[in-house]
Amino acid sequence: MKRLISVTAALCLLCACSLNEAQGEKNTAKKENPPKEVKKEKEDAAQDDLVLEAAYFNEINEVDGKKVILNPENILSLMNKEFYLPADYAPNDLVRPNVAFSFGDEDVEKSYMRREAAEALENMFAAAKEEGVILYAVSGYRSYDRQKAVLAAEINRVGKEKAEQAVAIPGTSEHQSGLAMDISSESEGYLLTENFGLQAEGIWLCENAHRFGFILRYPKEKEGITQYQYEPWHFRYVGEDAAKMMYEKDWTLEEFFNHVKKI
C-alpha cells in the first residue's frame, strides 16, 4: 500500500531549523516554547496534508437509496451502516490462513480471508505465540446470504433494535469483505465476549495488531462513531501504514477518512 504523505510537516521542520540558527542561543527559551497560535497552525497544516491516493476511497453508486461501494477490492473500503458492499460481491482471492481455529481443521466459509489479510494474520498469530500469547481465529469471511441468516437469528433472539447494534445489516458487514477476523482465546472459552478485552490475549491484540496491519474496528467509547457496540474480538485488516496511524491517533476507520485527503 502507498504510504501516507505529510509534506507540510516536513517543510515546517526545515523552517523551524533555519529559524533556530538565525535567532541564536539567547532566544532558546522562546524557541522551545513557541506561541500556542503558531504551534496550532503548524499542527493544522500538517494534518491537512495527510493525503491518500483516490483508489483508497470508496467509489459510490446510489442504488435504491443505498450507497453501494463500486471498488470493494480496496483494502481500505469503508463499510458501515451508510456504505454497502454489492450483494453479489465475494473476494476472488480468498485463502485459508495457516492459524489455529476455534473449530479445529474444519474447512468452512468462515475460515477464509483475502490473501493479503490472511498472510498478515499468520504473522500476527506467530508473533503472539513467540510472546506466549495463543490466539484462535473464530470467524472470517461471511457471504451476503450467510449474513442475512446471522442477522435474522439475532433478531429472533433479542429483537431488531438490539440485533442491529451487534450484527451488521447484510451488505454492510466487514466479514463479507474478507478483511476481518473475529479472534478469541482458550482462556475465554473461544467465545466472542467483551471480557476478551480484559484477557492477556485481548490486551496483546489491542496493543500490537497495528504492527501487522490490523485495527480494533469497534473500540470502546467510540460507539457513537462506529454505530456498533464495543467488540474487542473484531479485527480488520487495513495495511500497516494506515493501521499505525489509526493506532497512534486513536482513530476509527471513520475518523481516519475524516482527516485524510485525496491526492
- The catalytic site residues sit at 231
Measured in residues, the chain has a length of 263
What is 37-71 written as a DSSP string?
A: HHHHHHHHHHHHTEEE-GGGSPPEEEETTEEEES-
Asked if 166 and 61 touch (Cβ cutoff 8 Å), the reply is: no
Report phi then psi at 84, rounded to 5. -110, 145
Q: Could you tell me which residues are beta bridge partners of residue 95? A: 113
How far apart CA 82 and CA 62 sit, in angstroms, is 11
* Residue 208 CB partners (closer than 8 Å, separation 6+): 124, 127, 128
Whole-angstrom distance, CA of residue 209 vs CA of residue 198 = 16
Under 8 Å between Cβ of 229 and 165: yes
Coil, strand or helix: which one is 185?
Answer: coil
Phi then psi for 185, rounded to 5 degrees?
-150, 165
* Dihedral over alpha carbons 173, 206, 185, 145 (to 10 degrees): 0
Q: How far apart are CA 67 and CA 65, in angstroms?
A: 7
CA distance 107 to 156: 28
